[in-house]
Structure 1
């Protein structure tokens, strides 16, 4: 069965917006997501935390927070493949349509997603900081250099509740290619350990109203400060691949082959390699060939 798409063109980035994204490494959307869609996803994530699964995945090495795993940041990967309420948001067509414009790709597929629950740090000894990293550093088996992430908060975000922060232009830096300091809570030390002077003006907290979301390039440095608001911050990060992306073998510095959870979940192609176009694991969010007038 074929799928067709129609999106109001006024919701999409202009050519100037796309060029700006290519220069800065991030893009903030207009208010395009229905509030009731976000509210349903919030309920679905809460139920996921309580143990509900609409679909069971094969065993693979991915993170899927459950009660008893601690009171820090909750990270549930491949959530949309397990939970229909999360899938409804992750597959919302305007997300893929905007991504296609930004990546200049005629087709956008899901790569994976993460439901991220950042608890309040008020009155606790925990630290909900997420350290500086690039998504590319975790995707070494991908051939594309145009992959991107839609970061979708389910409510308003601010500096106080630990919104996403990006380093403008860092996707163009050689030094940022393999940064993976996710668990390093010292956000002030970035310039020191990558050996580059980073002006304060390049650090961009993404402040959003409910219904807005942001995109960042796979090589863009990003992090988030502690949540000092009196309520949790909940977001869905939807990682997206352009049409040209496919699997490539890659080894660690000690010669061990890198195996992503994606590789364990998807089918094999004709050469016996993981197939990053497997529609069961990497469904299509957007295709120009399926656009209706």
Structure 2
């Protein structure tokens, strides 16, 4: 029988692509999951075509203004690793594919949520330049800079546009790190994106937290076939290395939130209030706070029981 709700439906074939009970248990224990084939080859090729149009200057719906911490590669930035936030908003073709209900249903199964919304999306292009420093993404976990979110169930889907292996600098998980307790110190909970932090500091934080939890750092590179995606919990440490292949590594990092997520005020150690890019873009709730359910920027992918 097909899985249905009032607004969302999966075909029988798509239901077979959902995580099994054992997959959900694995995700809860290890903090990551490698999906079955969620996108057809044609859909993936459309993602790549749309990304090239975007890089060439085609924007369907420009952001109304630029938040202060927006990651936004421009041609004048040169042959560095490219990150472009809000690609689901600015590119209609990419946004339509990312809103695929199956993707949301997989996230709902893994997180135990009955609603999944987009939180953020980033188009990524890692050039085949092993000596380019920007190609290295240091160890971090996404929840560290989502301090303004109340949810503990947020997760990220990493969606490459091709077969993606170690030689391309694929995303790499630190196994079971989503279950760690953080060793609190002066560097904890900065609400700063990894790009704004020192790589060596982040490496030392990872090692210190492993020791604090009485475990070793186990790195698991995600070997992702075309059309598949990896998912990881918002507290799973991850990073990626240089692209040693002969072609660019193209992908989208799609951050997802459950329906219960909402804005919360979070005070940093220096007394300032933490902020996220949404806080400068989304509509306001009746209480005057940023609305992380704004359908313009945070559309619903799935609602119901997957």
TM-score, with length taken from structure 2: 0.87
CA contact (8 A) 2:8 2:101 kept: no
Q: 2:40 — aligned with what?
A: 34
CA contact (8 A) 2:116 2:302 kept: yes
CA contact (8 A) 2:181 2:209 kept: no
Task: Provide runs of 4+ in structure 1 moved above 3 Å.
Answer: 124-127, 176-195, 197-200
Q: 1:169 — aligned with what?
A: 176
Q: Deviations over 1:204-224 (max 9, x none)?
A: 000011011110000000000
Displacement of 1:143 in angstroms is 0.2
Range with bigger deviation, 213-222 or 257-266: 257-266
Residues 112-151 of structure 1: pairs in structure 2 closer than 5 A: 112-122=120-130, 125-151=132-158
TM-score, with length taken from structure 1: 0.91
Displacement of 1:112 in angstroms is 0.8
CA distance in 1, matches of 2:50, 2:203: 35
CA contact (8 A) 1:63 1:77 kept: yes
CA contact (8 A) 2:138 2:203 kept: no
Residues 153-192 of structure 1: pairs in structure 2 closer than 5 A: 153-175=160-182, 178=189, 181-182=194-195, 191-192=206-207
Displacement of 1:281 in angstroms is 1.2
Unaligned runs of 5+ in 2: 1-5
Residues 6-85 of structure 1: pairs in structure 2 closer than 5 A: 6-7=10-11, 8-59=14-65, 60-61=67-68, 62-85=70-93
Q: Deviations over 1:1-48 (max 9, x none)?
A: x74322422100111111110000000011221111111111111121
State the secondary structure of the residue aligned to 1:160: helix
CA distance in 1, matches of 2:273, 2:199: 29
Residues 183-222 of structure 1: pairs in structure 2 closer than 5 A: 191-194=206-209, 196=211, 199=216, 202-222=218-238
Q: 2:3 — aligned with what?
A: none
CA contact (8 A) 2:149 2:261 kept: yes
State the secondary structure of the residue aligned to 2:182: helix
CA distance in 1, matches of 2:229, 2:64: 31
Displacement of 1:94 in angstroms is 1.1
CA RMSD of aligned residues (A): 2.1
CA contact (8 A) 1:121 1:127 kept: no
What is the number of equivalent residue pairs in this alignment? 287
CA distance in 2, matches of 1:136, 1:125: 27
Q: Deviations over 1:191-241 (max 9, x none)?
A: 5454626536x2100001101111000000000011010111011011000
Instruction: Identify if the C-alpha distance between structure 1 residues 89 and 178 changes in structure 2 by more than 3 Å, giving closer, same or farther.
Output: farther
